[in-house]
Each structure stands twice: as structure tokens, then as C-alpha cells.
Amino acid sequence: MANFFNFSSKPKVLIRVIPPEVEMCIIKRLGKPKFWISSLDFNETMAKIYRKASSAALEDYYRQKSKRE
């Protein structure tokens, strides 16, 4: 009971940033959707989106991490 009220309101979340074992695994597994009507290659388009989203997420993570420190 001595430690009952000794808690932190901030959750501790450990994040490991590592490259995936297989890039775009969901896209590769599911393939091009039937609704894709563009003349652009679906996998190439998604690869660009994945790269931009990953880069933006990492930048945001490190920016927020530096603010906390």
C-alpha cells in the first residue's frame, strides 16, 4: 500500500525505430486493388507514398522527442 498513490500520469512508451523486414508488405501481399484505374504503376506510386509518410513520421518523432528532452 505504500506505493499505491505513487504513480505517474504520463505513460512510458518505448519506441524502436527499425526498418521493416519486408517493405510495403501489405501492398505486396494484397496486390493492386481493382479500383486502381490510373495508368501509373500502383507499386511505384505506393512506394513513393510510403517513403514520404515514413520520412515525415520520423521527422515528427525526433522533433517531439527533442522538445521533451
Domain that holds residue 56: 25-68
What pTM value is reported for the model? 0.63
Q: Residue 7 — very low, low, confident or very high, per pLDDT cuts 50/70/90? A: low
H helix count then E strand count, the chain: 2, 0
Cβ atoms of 30 and 43 within 8 Å: the answer is no
Query: 33's torsion region: left (phi>0), alpha (psi -120 to 50) or beta?
Result: beta
Say what the pLDDT of residue 47 is.
94
**10-68 tens-digit pLDDT:** 677 777 778 889 889 999 999 999 999 999 999 999 999 999 998 998 899 888 888 87
> Considering only CA atoms, which of 33, 16, 25, 32 is closest in space to residue 50?
25
Residue type present at position 66: S
In a domain, 3, yes or no: no
In a domain, 5, yes or no: no
In a domain, 37, yes or no: yes
> Considering only CA atoms, which of 3, 30, 15, 5 is closest in space to residue 64?
15
